Amino acid sequence: MNTDSNDMMIKHSPEYQAILDRHELRSSIKQSAGDEKSLLGTYADVLQLLIKRYAELIHLISNADTLEGLQNQLTEQQVLMQQLLPEDALLTPDVKTQSEIVEDFVSRSHTVAGLILESKGK
């Protein structure tokens, strides 16, 4: 078999088509939902928002006047939250509103999910 024939077989293989399909999907996501850095930023914002809210919840529970046993169980979580979120920490949820973060997340996720469904023929 000559080299041109081998190249044609590779280009028509299911593996090669899967690579082309993934590249096309990523290109569609980039055009419709934002580039990789923008998407990563959005997801980082949401993750930080969730961490911040979780930390606040842990703080409220651990400062409750009742359920002393619960307070003891939450000590390790409280230490972790203090390590992750020191008082001087500035996170994107501190400079963006919750509405901005959630709207961005929902919009991008909806776009990406639609493109994935479209790529699956659904």
Q: Where are the domains of the chain?
A: 3-119
> Comparing 11-15, 75-79, 105-109, 117-121, which segment has the lowest mean pLDDT?
75-79
| pLDDT of res. 46 | 81
Nearest partner of 96 among 41, 35, 57, 59, judged by Cα:
41
In contact, 107 and 55? CB cutoff 8 Å = no
Nearest partner of 50 among 110, 93, 95, 100, judged by Cα:
93
| pLDDT of res. 115 | 93
Alpha-carbon gap, residue 55 to 40, rounded angstroms: 22
52-100: pLDDT as tens digits: 878 877 777 777 667 766 666 667 667 767 877 788 888 778 888 999 9
Reported confidence tier of residue 5, pLDDT bands at 50, 70, 90: low
| pLDDT of res. 110 | 92
Mean pLDDT of the chain: 81
